[in-house]
Structure formats: structure tokens, C-alpha cells
């Protein structure tokens, strides 16, 4: 929603991502803040920010798949795992450079996701959710049961640091900048998808797939593309994860993680690309703050032991998410949009 008095007079303006000067200024400030962040804060914050950036890529994909196209997906962690394994194998066993291994990880995850996208053609809702859980189980099964020379089975895969033009991404700061660059590209792509013909088709199918079909939208193709794109993002996130942790194992990509990804989309706001980023930020921040606060409390309050404090902290985290679902189920971006609307109409609300 644009402020009062701002309106597009050309198609280019209508499609522009940045529509006002304050938006441009805010973006510039954000970019500068993100660039200088590792130089100003302690390593723990840099590590948290890196973790947020990797998760953001995965959740952006889920936002396209679930938030925009309405296809419930509880297998996003499995798609991330496929991307991580592909990137790790290509990098560690075949010596591919990051600029080739990372997109290849995305493509392999997209193909894996596409298979489940085909099932979305016939089923939806809870049934689709169950099918995507099958993706999670299938991924686990394949990794552990295919010949260990292929995917290393239970041994996992060790990955060397990413390297571009003889520069090694082996420090906390360097990996942060790598993730930041990838997130910028993927974010731009996500906004592009949302504004495109495909994005509008996603929204139409999400709101009513029968009516969409009658309007001439290819529903089968749209659902499949939604899964393809969502899984591609997850695969790229998985590839980044492989280069970040430098060790990939099957138990790093669990159903529990997929549920956290869904929680991030809900907290941020379904259907909003910015909401995906907000959701990641809020949930990750809560997790990390609670983890740090627990340690500090245990250290300073001698009569409280770790088991009590950390358990209480986790209950607090759960209560916070439940609170979001009860009081603002449409996410923080919905609340933000209400605020913007009030501001736009002020002082004449009617």
C-alpha cells in the first residue's frame, strides 16, 4: 500500500519494488547496517545473523510455496537436506566450486520438491501435509539406505570451506558476507516471483483453485512450479548450511525443523515476502535470546540450576508462539499493514 498521493503513472512505476524516497532511504540504511554488522558486534551476534540468513533463504521458499501458493509443506527441511547433501557431495567428492555446487544443490532440491508438487495436483490440505511429511521420511530413508559410497550413509559428509578466486570463506565474518550476498539475490528473486505472472497465479490458486482453473490458469503447472521454487530455495539454503557447518548429516534436517519453518512463516505473515524475513528474525531472536538469558540466569542466580531455568525458558518460547497464533494469526506483517493504513488515512479515517 502506497502513502496517500503516491500513485504509479507507468507500468514500470507500478512494478517498482522501491516506490517512495523513505523506502529507498530505509533500504540504504538496512543495507549499510547489514554490511557493517560483523565489524561492530561480537562473534556470537555474527553467528546468529548467519544462522538467520541461511534460515531466511529456506523460509522464503516456504513462503512462496505455502504463503503465496497455499500448498502446505511440512517437508521443507528435507528439501534443504537434499540441497545440502548435493552441494556437499559435489564440493567434497567432485571438487566443484561453490558457484557451481550451490545452484546445483538448489536444482536437485527443486527436482525432489517437484515430485511432491505433482502429488499436490490431486490432493490438498491435510492430505498434502501428510504427503510432504513423507518427503521428510523418504529423504532420511534414502540417505541411510543407499550405498554409503553415494551419500555416505550414517557417516555424514565433511565439506571444505567455500572458496572463490582463492578467497576462503572460513571465518565467521566471511561466511556471513557470503550468506548475505546469497540472501540478497534470493530475496530479489522472491520479490520478482511475487510480482510476476506466476506470483499472481499462485495467489489465485491459493484463494480458489477451482475458480483459477476456470479463469484459464494452469492449476497443475502452478502447483508444481510452487513446489519447484520453494524447494529450490530450500536447496540453496541447504547448500549454504553445508558450507557454514562444514559437516552434513541426515539428522540435521528433521521434521521438527520443518515445523519451525512453518512457525516462522505464520509469525511473519502468510503471503508476505518481507513477512518471511520478519518471522525468521523474531523466532530466531527469541530462541537465541532465551538460550543466552538462560545461561546468564544460571550463572548469576545460584539457587536455580540449569535444568529448571532452561526448561522454563523453553516454555516461555512456546507460550510466545502460541500467543502469536492466538492474538495475531495473520502475522506481524498484517499488523504492520494495519498501522500503515491508519497512518495513510490519518487524520481522516473515513
Partner 1 sequence: MEHHEALLSIVAFPVLIEMEVAIHATPPSAVLLLTLKEIEVHNYKEEFAKRNRSVNSWLAGSVGILSMAFGTGGAQAQTTYNLAGLADFTGPYADIMKDVTGCRRGVVEWWNAEVGKDLGVNLKVKDYDTRYDVAQVASLWPGAKSELNPVLVFGIGGPDAAALQERLPADKVPMIMATAGYGYGWKPNPWVFNARPTYPHEAAAFMEWFRTKRGGDAPLKLGIISSEASPAYVDIHKGMEKFAKDNPKILEVVETIYTEVQPTDLTSQVNRLIRKGAEVIQVQTNTAAVVAVRRALQSLGKNNIPIMMSAHNSLQASGKAIGGLAQMEGSYEAYGMAIPTEDKTTARAFFEKLRDKYKVSSGYNVACLMGLNQAIVAVRTIESAAKAVGPTKVTGEAVRTALLTVPITSEQSFGILPSLNFSNDAPFPTKGLTVNIGSVQGGKYVIVDQNVTVPILNKW
Q: Which of 306, 325, 339, 343 binds partner 1 (CB under 8 A)?
A: 306
Q: Is 274 in the site for partner 1 (CB under 8 A)?
A: no
Q: Is 207 in the site for partner 1 (CB under 8 A)?
A: no
Q: Is 310 in the site for partner 1 (CB under 8 A)?
A: yes
Residue 124 CB neighbours (<10 A): 17
Contact stretch for partner 1 (CB under 8 A) within 81-89, 109-117, 177-185, 303-311: 303-311
Asked if 234 and 113 touch (Cβ cutoff 8 Å), the reply is yes
Cα–Cα distance, 275 to 257 (Å, whole number):
19
What is the nearest approach in angstroms of partner 1 to the Cβ of residue 51? Answer: 5
Q: Which of 245, 286, 304, 320 binds partner 1 (CB under 8 A)?
A: 245
Contact stretch for partner 1 (CB under 8 A) within 29-37, 67-75, 220-228, 311-319: 311-319
Q: Is 328 in the site for partner 1 (CB under 8 A)?
A: no
Q: Which of 150, 292, 340, 341 binds partner 1 (CB under 8 A)?
A: 292
Q: Is 83 in the site for partner 1 (CB under 8 A)?
A: no
What is the nearest approach in angstroms of partner 1 to the Cβ of residue 96? Answer: 18
Half-sphere exposure of residue 276: CA atoms within 13 angstroms, side-chain side: 29
Cα–Cα distance, 150 to 141 (Å, whole number):
13
How far is CA 246 from its chain centroid?
Answer: 20
Q: Which of 19, 314, 334, 344 binds partner 1 (CB under 8 A)?
A: 314
What is the nearest approach in angstroms of partner 1 to the Cβ of residue 179? Answer: 12
Residues 168-187 that bind partner 1 (CB under 8 A): 170, 172
Report the phi/psi class of residue 238: left, alpha or beta, with left for phi > 0 and alpha for psi in -120 to 50: alpha
Contact stretch for partner 1 (CB under 8 A) within 50-58, 61-69, 103-111, 186-194: 50-58
As given in the structure block, the three cell numbers for residue 146 are: 543407499
Q: What Cα–Cα distance (Å) separates residue 28 from each residue in 80, 183, 275?
A: 30, 16, 19
Q: Is 23 in the site for partner 1 (CB under 8 A)?
A: no
**Please, what is the angle between helix 219-245 and helix 98-120, to 10°?**
140
Q: Is 298 in the site for partner 1 (CB under 8 A)?
A: yes
Please say whether the dihedral angle defined by the alpha carbons of residues 208, 13, 26 and 339, taken in this order, is positive or negative. Answer: negative
Q: Is 73 in the site for partner 1 (CB under 8 A)?
A: no
Q: Which of 178, 313, 332, 333 binds partner 1 (CB under 8 A)?
A: 313
Q: Which of 24, 44, 93, 341 binds partner 1 (CB under 8 A)?
A: 44
What is the nearest approach in angstroms of partner 1 to the Cβ of residue 314? Answer: 4
The residue length of the chain stands at 350
Q: Which is nearer to partner 1, 249 or 332 (CB)?
A: 249
Q: Which is nearer to partner 1, 175 or 217 (CB)?
A: 175
Q: Is 145 in the site for partner 1 (CB under 8 A)?
A: yes
Residues that bind partner 1 (CB under 8 A): 42-48, 50-51, 55, 140-141, 144-145, 153-156, 158-159, 170, 172, 244-247, 249-252, 287-288, 291-292, 294-295, 298-299, 305-307, 309-311, 313-314
Amino acid at each position: 500500500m502506497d502513502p496517500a498521493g503516491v500513485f504509479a503513472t507507468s507500468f514500470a512505476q507500478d512494478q517498482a519494488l522501491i516506490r517512495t524516497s523513505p523506502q529507498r532511504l530505509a533500504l540504504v540504511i538496512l543495507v549499510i547496517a547489514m554490511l557493517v554488522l560483523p565489524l561492530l558486534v561480537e562473534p556470537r551476534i555474527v553467528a546468529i545473523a548467519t544462522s538467520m540468513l541461511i534460515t531466511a533463504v529456506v523460509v522464503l521458499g516456504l513462503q512462496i510455496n505455502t504463503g503465496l501458493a497455499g500448498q502446505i509443506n511440512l517437508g521443507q527441511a528435507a528439501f534443504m537436506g537434499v540441497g545440502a547433501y548435493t552441494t556437499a557431495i559435489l564440493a567434497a567428492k567432485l571438487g566443484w566450486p561453490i558457484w557451481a555446487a550451490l545452484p546445483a544443490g538448489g536444482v536437485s532440491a527443486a527436482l525432489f520438491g517437484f515430485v511432491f508438487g505433482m502429488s499436490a495436483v490431486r490432493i490438498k490440505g491435510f492430505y498434502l501435509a501428510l504427503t510432504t511429511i513423507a518427503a521428510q521420511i523418504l529423504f532420511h530413508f534414502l540417505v541411510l539406505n543407499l550405498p554409503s559410497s553415494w551419500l555416505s550413509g550414517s557417516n555424514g559428509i565433511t565439506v571444505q570451506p567455500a572458496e572463490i578466486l582463492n578467497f576462503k570463506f572460513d571465518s565467521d565474518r566471511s561466511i556471513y558476507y557470503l550468506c548475505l550476498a546469497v540472501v540478497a539475490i534470493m530475496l530479489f528473486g522472491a520479490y520478482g516471483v511475487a510480482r510476476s505472472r506466476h506470483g499472481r497465479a499462485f495467489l489465485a490458486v491459493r484463494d480458489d483453485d477451482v475458480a483459477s482453473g476456470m479463469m484459464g490458469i494452469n492449476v497443475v503447472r502452478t502447483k508444481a512450479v510452487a513446489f519447484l521454487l520453494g524447494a529450490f530455495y530450500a536447496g540453496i539454503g541447504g547448500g549454504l548450511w553445508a558450507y557454514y557447518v562444514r559437516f552434513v548429516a541426515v539428522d540435521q534436517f528433521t521434521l521438527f525443523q520443518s515445523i519451525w519453518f512453518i512457525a516462522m512463516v505464520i509469525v511473519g505473515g502468510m503471503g508476505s515476502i518481507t513477512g518471511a524475513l520478519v518471522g525468521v528474525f523474531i523466532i530466531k531472536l527469541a530462541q537465541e535470546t532465551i538460550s543466552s538469558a538462560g545461561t546468564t540466569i544460571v550463572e548469576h542466580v545460584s539457587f536455580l540450576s540449569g535444568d529448571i531455568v532452561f526448561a522454563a525458558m523453553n516454555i516461555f518460547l512456546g507460550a510466545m508462539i502460541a500467543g502469536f497464533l492466538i492474538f495475531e494469526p495473520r502475522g506481524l506483517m498484517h499488523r504492520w499493514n494495519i498501522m500503515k493504513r491508519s497512518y495513510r488515512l490519518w487524520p481522516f479515517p473515513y
